[in-house]
Structure 1
Amino acid sequence: MSDTVKPSDAYRLPTDVRPKHYDLTVRTDLEKETFEGVVKIDLEVVRPTASIVLNAAANLVLNPVSLASPTAAQLAPVETSYDEPTQRVRYTFPQEFAKGDKVTLRIGFAAPLTDSMSGYYKSTWDKGIYSLTQFEPTEARRALPCWDEPLLKATFAVTLVSRAGSVSLSNMPALAAPAIPGAGDEALYAGVEAKEWVATKFETTPPMSTYLLAYANGPFAHLESSYKSPLSGKVRPLRIYATPDLIHQAQFALDVKAKALPLYEQVFDVEFPLPKLDTLVASDFDAGAMENWGLITGRTNAYLLDPNNPDMRAKKQIAGTQSHEVAHMWFGNITTMAWWDNLYLNEGFATVMGESIILDKIFPEWKVDSEFINDILNEALALDAKPSSHPIEVECPDANMINQIFDALSYSKAASVLRMLSKYVGEDKFLQGVSIYLKKHLYANSVSRDLWEGIGEATGIDVPDLMENWVSKIGFPVLTVTETETGIRVRQDRFLEDGAVKPEDNETIWTVPLGLLTASEAGQSIVDNKAVLSEREAEFKIDTAKSFKLNADTHGVFRVLYTPERLAAIATEAAKSDSLFTLNDRMGLVHDAMALSKSGLLKLSAALNLLYILREEKEHLVWSGISTNLGIVLSTWWEHDDIVSLLNAFRKQLFAPLVKKLGYEYSTADTADITQLRTLAIGQAARAGDPAVVKELQDRFAKYVAGDKSAIPADLLNVTFNAAVVHGGAESYDEIVKIYDNPDTPSVKTSAIRALGASPDPQLLETTFDIILTRSRNQDVMYFFHGLQENFKARRFLRASFEKHYDEFVKRFEATFTLKGLVKIAYSGFSSEKDRAEAEAFFKGKDISRYDQALAQALDGIKAKSAWIERSTSDAQEWLENWKQASKL
């Protein structure tokens, strides 16, 4: 191999020196909204050098700088340079340091606390501000100069100097107050002896990556619990912190954390290594939550639940989020990916463990493995079906690319592939392999093959061969099933949502566990979990006179295409009360049918017919899949009033009977399934315009604003607020604004935000956008955009308003994940080639490097929907008209 520098090397730090330990002191002044500090970094010289290069963002003022070496107590740099694109500062010193030298770099730094939601930033609450960090993926450099790459692990000793009466938090427990040091650091401790300020020193961390470093300062209150380690018997304290006005809503999240930790220790056979695990709830937070080691952070709606009026959806979100972040304490924090191209090792694993395997052990009644199909697998397949998708393991040389791969591929597809592997080899063997992997890489870094080798050691299977194309290649297959005299022939081809598969798109051959379900002579299901398709096509001997199905229990990451006749037969069998096919099978059928219709491989009428056949379904999760897919059709034909009207009539016929059966009252005696089915049915019927349901919700809203907060159960906040704005005019809209300004809980506020986008009145939509621009929290803008995009009458307004204020949004969200989300929401709702061309024209000449993937995905979606409309409008109209006539509506 040549010595030519790879493009990625331009964005990676030199390896002449390696950090071993950071001694970090940060003084936070919440009154002046500033911070300053000193970091002393112990370095090991790997190769002779006179220059030291590290990361620092442009917002930091760096001064003074000195270096202590074996031959000099204090060296000042003779030259300093800064490269803004790579956020790197280079210090050149007057002498060369030898390999093996131990040197200490000391840098002072200062910056304002801004509302950027990245680096070290401020968050507001009713009585002022507080500060916290968000460093993943590459924002530690906004808070301190450092080696901001995951491979460069070091230990951290943190001291926080803050005003008396405030609470300081970090990854580790606090020690006794430190003595004021010398060496020019005295200014950071000014006021400590007079007790106007407090210095809090924390225990030194284990070796960890900079993106996991965390600290915070503010007027925090807390709840406390503990858990007993099943491995050592040690009892560890667990706390959750929030501002005093919110802390009473944090108990449920704390309880989940206490239940999850011992389960993770048992399945990994590795004890949680830190002395404590805190969670901090933040009112301004860019991502959903963050797995900082020992100090998890996250949004209010990721952790807070009203104990007096809890809703099931919020409970599930909180439990899933908390369990996901706890999974990272091992998978990501103890063992960390070597570089961001293996981000999926962190996020995919935390998703499948935290939101499925472990959560199922805590809440078996929630059927989380089944819910995985709706919420995670289907999201993954929807994104991966776009031409602009990327492999799970993807090159990401610079920071702009790194931010963009925090998407449904790194999380949901990776989790789905790992779930498929777990089901194929058996969950016990899978977890045993994970334990082997973790133990071999404790406090170190790893790549994909390390995980595959651990699972291979536990199972005796050639896991790298099985998994290679699933993680290194783009896309996934559709399996076409052709019936033969002796069984079935199965062929695999790349699946694309627009159906336009070119030969160069279709080169990958995946190793596909088929999950072949057949019927025994006695009519019982038999599942062959060892049947694998590892070539383009192959034949399998089965009796096609009996029921059969591929992808038993919907464990596989692929779609299955049957003939329309076979699909109808499978659907008819699935609709039986004593069906061979499981809940998971029925869910998979619904999602496959609509996706195949969108791609042109199946008629839309066949997919709609499948939904109709399942109209006597009892399970909420199947109904959830049905509603999602009807929503996809509605959102595609949103400007075709005749189709929308027919689809809404269809929705009403499906869901209104469920509303009549289940009613509007919630009880603690209800199962999770009944609770969610009631909420879903009322929501679908209301959005379809069912007059009885709309009136009921309007009546409840009137009682709510008159002071009877019990009139709207927490589960119905979203749909009730929405119906009030859609049907109640300016008067109801104004009431929602009041609720937004003074919400009882974070979930009430989020429901109000989304409802403010639901009005059909252009003037009220202008008012909503003015709220976004002038007084919305940064973290809430995404919710506003979702509310507007879901309103067909607001989609064009949203896009026009985003384009008008584009420069403001770019500046406001330049260092966050939010910007790419706003771009995707603003454009993904459209369905015509004209809209696609106009979007491309708007972005021509703009710097799209921070969101080019999100934009490409939105444009791909428009293209696919436009083709679907052209291909399927008459088919859909004919089926819906026939259904209407047969139903005598």
Structure 2
Amino acid sequence: MGSLLSSAAKDDQYRLPTDIKPTHYNITIKTDLEKLAFHGLIKVDLEVVAETSTITLNMANLSITKVFIISKTSSVEHTLMASFDTLQQRITFKIPKSLPTGSHALLVIRYSGELTGSMLGYYKSAYEVDGETKHYALTHFEPTSARRAFPCWDEPLLKATFAITMISRKGTINLSNMSAISEEPLNSGVNTSPELEEILGPIKDDNWKITKFETTPVMSSYLVALANGEFEYFESSVKMPLSKKILPLRIYATKEHIHQAQFALDAKAAVLPLYEKIFNVEYPLPKLDTLVASDFDASAMENWGLITGKITVFLLDPDSGDLQAKKLVASIQSHEVAHMWFGNITTLEWWTYVHLNEGFATLMGEVIIPDKIWPEWRVNSEFITGHLNRALSLDAKISSHPIEVDIPDPNHVSQPLQYCACCLLTSAKMCSSKVFPVISRSICLETPSRKIFGKAGFPVLTVTEDEKGISIKQDRFMEANNVAEENKTVWNVPLKIVTEKDGQRHVDNTHLLAERTTHVKLDASKSFKLNADTTGVYRVLYTPERLAVIAAEATKENSIFSLEDRLGLVQDSFASAKAGLAKVSGALTLVESWENENEYLVLSGIGDITNLISTFWESPKIVDGLNTFRRTLFVPIVEKLGYDYPSDESHDVRLLRTIAISQAAYAEDKSVVADLQSRFKHYTDTGDDSQIASDLQRVVFTTATKYGGRSEWKNVVELHDRPRTPQEKNAAIFALGATQDEDLIKETLEFIGKKARDQDIVLFFSGLGSNFKARRALTEYFQKNYDILFKRFESNFSLPFLVKLSSEYYSSMKDLELLEEFYQDKDTSKYKLALAQTLDEIRARAGYVTRSLKEIVEWLGKRK
């Protein structure tokens, strides 16, 4: 059970001393869901690596009531004095007599803590039963919050085994990483000890129980998991291909949610055996559970043996046909199962390598494995429109950094996850299908990925033609178009050139651009394209004439260009226009040439027009003109496919209908808007939602609120407060932000402070930020309530998202200056990268508007 990468721990201010090593934790935790508190007794077996008279470990938000150490050499017990470093979240114990090198000791700590709603450490989650608010407790430790549940050496390299005992009220269920080996009523003096009874407090034996779990394998503290509450569960099992063992699987949730948990359980059962087969390493634990949490900061967490996550990523109405929701549940469950091997069996040494941990789980869990089980979903192609494009957009900013970057302070862990997954995918494409699984198991990605991707940013390849072939020049791609300042890097770029050979598609993989420029011999009179299947992490810039030729070829029925080639072409065109490297009219003309397009994924890429509209949101004529153009692309598809979703239709048609209706509605087509409004009215008047396909919930709710008044807004509030599914609640959240009424915008913002759950505030900000009329009000709200929001979210993953979502939509230098002024006197250390990316985005948008406003007006004028 080794670390992901083996290297010596850095002896700096952020790392614990290495003179003491924990080898085993025996942890007993009593959970009191009525008092919302917990008490703990922890015994840690220590190995003394170097003689020491102090013991330093991590602790946060806990109260220690007693601590002593027993040297296993002398059997002498010493009560210890402690000093606490709040900033570093460390506690140091002074030992009366030094512990000699090579000796062993037992550290015993009695402590207590509160179950807060922080969504970190051991915390409370609220739910309602018959109008009564109830609570359960669960953990979320990554990256540095195990110390909030028990004092520990809270660093990934400092692995140990864990024996967990949980004391709780009868009628509740206790969960942890391992299977329970015993559970019985708590009986004072029979299954307790004097030191344990010190932490129990006054209890009645018939009200409490004690659950003991098997000891874990050697593992990192951030992967430990606990939960206690009135859960219900579904269960199944799978036969594992290597061990031939029958592995029990369960998914837990509260009573109100458990009926929607079956698909997540089925998805876990489908993917788990494949991972064991591909990695050729047995799954070492006796079970694998999933707990669906009502309050959860991240999407999900890969605790070994007990995956946890939000209701929105694990629940699916069994009667729902919402394909996107189904794909989300499957991909998240698969992602977390990937971590059972990559992250849990083999673990990162330090948070510097979190990109490999998460990037690999993204690639395996969201692309490779789902593609084997659900090939009709075409996740390989969706990877381009999703992960790749978003990752390149982030990495095109001056604030970008290399994938692997030193992270000395674990409290400021940054996760460039999507970009890393893209790099790993490129590595996979450069290797054979037989070689990559071996590479993935050994993590020998030095060649080719580190040589290709170990630098900040990525290149844009400019292609020019002559009679002998093509010349290719690489420069750093920058959204703000300040290449001259940063154009110092030369990447090793796999070109992968698509050409026509004997009337057939041919891909040449032999060329690697390792210099600033190169020349490739080919027949430029025939069609060609770089970056076959858009697997390389780079953009390509063609001449307008060549772009037109490629576009024409791409529309042919038997084109040599694949679907993935077309996706990359659209994305490169819009990205190059935003960076000032090409004209936006060229990108728009490219889209116009595909006006009769019926491929869902291409139309999804064409959705970049939405981003263009969002950039020019304060130029009404451009917004109206682009919406008119957008209607010509999508309304005919709506008219052809209608609003009904037959159960026997293909996945592609279902997705095509959804995107066409959504885009037509957002483009303000009167007919589509009226139809969606009538469906919403029928639902709220009768309670019958049969006219609203689950795929259309968000656009129906949003349209009704946008074009309605207080009555529709109140109806959406009701749907938010009493949703039938998690997806319906999310749809209601986005819809509340869509209102065009200033008073209702204000009330939506007030709603955030009064009624929104912490985990949902990011969704509220996203919905409001999508509404042009609410943008400035959202910024004002965030800035006015900054201190409150900072305190509320300073330890969570949400804070950086709130910083971005409250202002990244601006498109002028004046707004940039006002934003910089606001943050001038703020401590931005908790969201430094998010703020830098936001400022870069505004700067790029401002340049885009300045350069392209007149050009877009002229292009739109020619279409009339």
TM-score bucket of the superposed structures, by smaller chain: over 0.9
Secondary structure of 2:166's partner? strand
What is the Cα deviation at residue 619 of structure 1? 1.2
CA contact (8 A) 1:189 1:199 kept: no
Cα distance, 1:191 vs structure 2: 7.4
Asked if the contact 2:662/2:699 (under 8 Å) is kept, the reply is yes
Please state if 1:514 is matched with 2:476: no
The SS at the match of 1:184 is helix
Partner residue, 1:499: 481
Letter in 1 for 2:38: F
Instruction: Return the TM-score normalized by structure 2.
Output: 0.96
Q: Aligned ranges for residues 567-606 of structure 1 at < 5 Å?
A: 567-606=547-586
Instruction: Determine the structure 2 residue equivalent to 1:98.
Output: 100
Amino acid at match of 2:449: M
CA-CA distance at 1:667 after TM superposition: 1.6
Alignment-mate amino acid for residue 630 of structure 2: R
Residues 799, 469 of structure 1: CA spacing in aligned structure 2 closer, same or farther, 3 A cutoff? farther
Query: What amino acid does structure 2 have at the position aligned with 1:319?
Result: A
19, 30, 35: which one aligns with 1:32: 35
Q: 2:158 maps to which residue?
A: 152
Residue 187 (structure 2) aligns with: none
1:328 aligns with 2:339: yes
Q: 2:5 maps to what in 1? A: none
- Aligned equivalent of 1:259: 270
Equivalent residue runs for 1:48-197 within 5 Å: 48-57=51-60, 59-73=61-75, 75-77=77-79, 79-127=81-129, 128-177=134-183, 180-182=191-193, 184-189=195-200, 194-197=205-208
Rounded Cα–Cα distance in structure 2 between residues aligned with 1:785 and 1:878: 34
Matches within 5 A, 1:746-785: 746-785=726-765
Q: Which residue of 2 aligns with 1:221?
A: 232
What number of residue pairs does the alignment pair up?
Answer: 847
Task: Provide TM-score, normalisation by structure 1.
Answer: 0.94
- Give 1:776 shift: 0.9
Q: Distance in 1 between matches of 2:780 and 2:466?
A: 54
Could you say which residue in structure 2 is the equivalent of 1:458? none
Q: Distance in 2 between matches of 1:686 and 1:779?
A: 28
The aligned amino acid for 1:51 is T
Alpha-carbon distance change, 6 to 65 in structure 1, aligned in 2, over 3 angstroms: closer
Query: Counterparts of 1:578 and 1:471 in 2: how far apart (Å)?
Result: 34
Tell me, yes or no, if the aligned pair for 1:77 and 1:91 is still in contact at 8 Å. Answer: no
Distance 2:253 2:193 in 1: 35
Match of 2:209, as an amino acid? V
Q: Distance in 1 between matches of 2:227 and 2:74?
A: 36
Distance 2:136 2:315 in 1: 18
CA contact (8 A) 1:470 1:476 kept: no
Alignment of 1:213-362 (within 5 A): 213-362=224-373
- Residues 465 and 177 of structure 1: CA distance in aligned 2, closer, same or farther (over 3 Å): closer
Alignment check: 8 A CA contact 1:26 1:35 kept? yes
TM-aligned CA distance change 1:32 to 1:78, over 3 Å: closer
Shift of 1:6: 11
Q: Partners in 1 of 2:249 and 2:450 — Cα distance?
A: 39
**1:630 pairs with 2:609:** yes
Distance, in Å, in 1 between the alignment partners of 2:580 and 2:717 is 44
Q: 1:221 to 1:639 in 2, by over 3 A?
A: same
Letter in 2 for 1:414: C
Residue 72 of structure 1: how far off its partner (Å): 4.4
What aligned pairs does 1:455-494 form with structure 2 within 5 A after superposition?
Answer: 464-494=446-476
**1:204 match:** 215
Mapped contact 1:575–1:616 kept (Cα < 8 A): no
Q: Structure 2 CA distance, aligned partners of 1:762 and 1:86?
A: 45
Give the CA deviation at 1:468. Answer: 2.4
CA distance in 1, matches of 2:549, 2:163: 65
Tell me which moved more, 419-428 or 297-306.
419-428
Q: Residue 73 of structure 1: CA displacement?
A: 3.8
Render the CA deviation track for 1:75-96: whole Å, top value 9, x for unaligned: 4455421111111111111011
Q: Deviations over 1:46-68 (max 9, x none)?
A: 011010000001x1111211101
Equivalent residues of 2:72, 2:106 under 8 A apart = no
**Residue 722 of structure 1 aligns with which residue?**
702
Structure 2 unmatched runs, 5+:
1-7, 185-189
Cα distance in 1 for partners of 2:840, 2:451 equals 23
Q: Deviations over 1:133-182 (max 9, x none)?
A: 00001111111110000000111000111000000000000011375342
Q: Following TM superposition, by how much is the alpha carbon of 1:827 offset from its aligned partner in structure 2, in angstroms?
A: 1.1
Superposition deviation, residue 258 in structure 1: 0.3
State the 1:192 CA deviation. 7.7
1:519 partner letter: E
Match of 2:626 among 628, 636, 647: 647
- Shift in CA distance, 101/759, structure 1 to aligned 2, threshold 3 Å: same
Match of 1:552 in 2: 532
Find out whether 1:814 has 2:816 as its counterpart: no
Q: Is the 8 A contact 1:469 1:508 kept in 2?
A: no
Residues 181, 6 of structure 1: CA spacing in aligned structure 2 closer, same or farther, 3 A cutoff? closer
Matches within 5 A, 1:827-846: 827-846=807-826
Q: SS state of the match for residue 621, structure 2? A: helix
Task: Report the identity percentage.
Answer: 51
Q: Distance in 1 between matches of 2:841 and 2:153?
A: 39
Does the aligned pair in 1 maintain the 2:424–2:449 contact within 8 Å? no
Distance 1:312 1:142, change over 3 A: same
SS of residue paired to 1:496: coil
Whole-angstrom CA distance in 1 between matches of 2:194 and 2:824 = 53
1:492 Cα deviation (Å)? 1.3
Residue 409 of structure 2 corresponds to residue 398 of structure 1: yes
1:563 is matched with: 543
Contact (CA 8 Å) 1:393, 1:471: kept in 2 or not? no
Tell me whether 1:685 sits opposite 2:664 in the alignment: yes
Query: In the alignment, is the contact (CA less than 8 A) between 1:740 and 1:752 conserved in 2?
Result: yes
- Structure 2: distance between partners of 1:567 and 1:506: 25
The whole-number CA distance in structure 1 between the counterparts of 2:487 and 2:101 is 50
Residue type at the aligned position of 2:589: N
Q: Aligned equivalents of 1:98 and 1:385: distance in 2?
A: 54
SS of equivalent to 2:180? coil
Distance in 2, matches of 1:218 and 1:365, equals 39
